[in-house]
Amino acid sequence: MFYCLVLLPGMENETRGHKPEESLAERYKVTFPENLTDKDIELIILQCEHQHATSPEQITGMAEAYKEAKDLAHDLERLNKLTAEEVEELIHKWAVLIEPEKNKNGFRTVPVRFANGKTALDPELVERAMENFFPAYAEGLMEAVEYYKEFEQIHPWLDGNGREGDLLWKIDVIRKTGVWPDELPPDVFEENGSTGSPQEKKE
């Protein structure tokens, strides 16, 4: 049986081995999309570091998805009229941007075990859970942190769930407050003590 060991948000950031004068783009050899602020880039890198996803391809994918999410968030008319179908399309699109090879074939079909030994939702239940998540997110009746925690507990993708959950949290925050949050999502999994990096292992 295959298990996917993943990293949940909440790790302390440790950045070593770089020159203080280097920009983040130079350090990671990434060309970031236009119109992202220095804070946006800092948060993109920080989230990727939390997830041990710091290859140029992974950072670029996260940056592209981040820009699309922020563009959507500032189109308040569209944001406040999101349909379940639009949410589904966006979630699939961003998952593939973030981890193309791992997510291009759809939702995960293997169990997920976190570093603390706990498991995510059974893969056979993921599709039904997401069918419920899409309209629930479109309605916007829950708190942003509740959507975030629900998405992470479902863990629909083989990889990139923490990064995409970050974007979903940010979008719902601005939908409710009118302000894009210049911070990472709250550590709703602190009690799990979960650390690690995305990988597959045989058992």
Q: What is the pLDDT of residues 115-155, one digit of tens each?
A: 778 889 999 999 999 999 999 999 999 999 999 999 999 99
CA dist., res. 197 & res. 162, Å (int): 11
As a whole number of angstroms, the distance between CA 203 and CA 198 comes to 16
Tens digits of residue pLDDT in 58-111:
999 999 999 999 999 999 899 999 999 999 999 999 999 999 999 999 999 999
Mean pLDDT value across residues 188-200 = 47
Hey, what are 129's tokens? 């859970």
Average pLDDT estimate for 23-29:
83
pLDDT for position 113: 87
Identify the pLDDT of residue 194. 39
Provide Rg for the chain, Cα atoms.
Answer: 16
pLDDT of 167 over the 80 cut: yes
More confident residue, 1 or 47: 47
Q: What is the pLDDT of residue 1?
A: 53
Percentage, residues of the chain above pLDDT 90:
73
Among candidates 176, 166, 170, which has minimal Cα distance to 142?
A: 176
What confidence tier does 19 reach under pLDDT thresholds 50, 70, 90? low
Distance in angstroms (rounded) separating the CA atoms of residues 13 and 94: 24
- Tens digit of pLDDT for each residue in 31-54? 999 999 999 999 999 999 999 999
CA dist 164 and 65 (Å) reads: 8
